[in-house]
Amino acid sequence: MISIVIPLYNEAESIAELQEWIDRVLKQNQLDGEVIYIDDGSNDGSWKIIEELIARYPYVKGVKFARNYGKAAGLQSAFEHATGDIVITMDADLQDSPDEIPELVRMIREDGYDLVSGWKKKRYDPLSKTIPTKLYNWATRQMSGIKLHDFNCGLKAYRRQVVKSIELYGDMHRYTPVLAKRAGFERIGEKVVEHRARKYGKTKFGISRFVNGPLDLLTVSFVSKYGKKPMHFFGVIGAVMFVIGVVVFGYIGGEKLWAMYHGWPAKNIAHMSMFYVALTAMIIGTQLFIGGFLAELLRGVSPERNRYIIDTKAGFNE
């Protein structure tokens, strides 16, 4: 069984057409599945159409948010409700083709991938979107080590355990491959998929995604590397800063004492700029150490501190 999850916001014009297309693909390929629509606080009548689809198709389900929370929240809710062994995500604006679903399912089941991401190799977007997207994908490849061309493609397929092991919030929906790798699922593949021109409405993502995206990437990269050992980050930098401060202070202090010993004229240490460089370095180093200890304390009381993803188990009586 597969689960097709579709987060949406004000897509009333396209939902029925998309569902008819999905139904046709499922029947033609004899795929047993469920379709879960997540209405992210739409105000254009999208939920009414979803209710009509639920009445018409027994495998269609829906969740409606009280307000707009964002795509990541929609996907997280869908992942929690999904029951299929393979979970397919796609957008509701008809830019993702349901005809890609059978091959995505095959790549998970037969090729053994944990996650397969779509690659919209030929896009129908303006240069104002495609150029920043290429830069974003390049940066994400460099920082994550995952060789995908299109991290933000909405059309993806996941093994069930992957979506049950990651948590999405903020704008983290862009980084599900990175989160999957962080959780230990490294069999990540890619498939060239059709990108269809938008038929109805307009994009719901503004210029802010070009600011939020890199910030979220830094967050994911940092948490992935130091989430379970924050002192390794703060402690090292803090130690380096503190040592630099001590060395500089020792140098100017020793120089002052040496001059006094020989009766030579010497500046007041408080009048030397290097004194304040040393003092600042020691203060920053101490603060980083304290920050690292606090992070370790918080990590120690976190319910996630001993949460490790188990791929398979054998020989246990459940």
Q: What is the pLDDT of residue 255?
A: 86
pLDDT digits (tens, 9 = 90+) for 290-318: 988 888 787 766 555 545 444 544 444 54
In 3D space, the residue among 277, 286, 300 whose CA is nearest the CA of residue 234 turns out to be: 286
Q: What is the pLDDT of residue 201?
A: 62
CA nearest neighbour of 210 among 297, 137, 120:
137
Q: Residue type for 240, please? A: V
Ramachandran category for residue 10: left, alpha or beta (phi over 0 → left; psi -120 to 50 → alpha): left
> Domain residue spans in the chain?
2-226, 230-301
* Cα–Cα dist 174/150, whole Å: 10
- Other CB atoms within a 10 A radius of the CB of residue 83 amount to 13
Calpha distance 220→241 (Å, rounded): 25
Q: Express each pLDDT in 186-219 by its tens digit.
A: 999 999 998 877 677 666 555 555 566 667 777 7
- The per-residue pLDDT for 54 is 94
Share of residues in the chain with pLDDT > 90 (%): 48
pLDDT in tens, 19-76: 999 999 999 999 999 999 999 999 999 999 999 999 999 999 999 998 888 898 999 9
| C-alpha–C-alpha distance, residues 89 and 292, integer Å | 38
Lowest mean pLDDT among 105-114, 128-137, 148-157, 283-292: 128-137
What's the fold here for domain 2-226?
Spore Coat Polysaccharide Biosynthesis Protein SpsA; Chain A (3.90.550)
This model's pTM is above 0.75: no
DSSP H or E segment with residue 244? helix 230-262
Distance of alpha carbon 72 from alpha carbon 78, whole angstroms? 10
- Main-chain dihedrals φ then ψ at residue 112, nearest 5 degrees: 80, 20
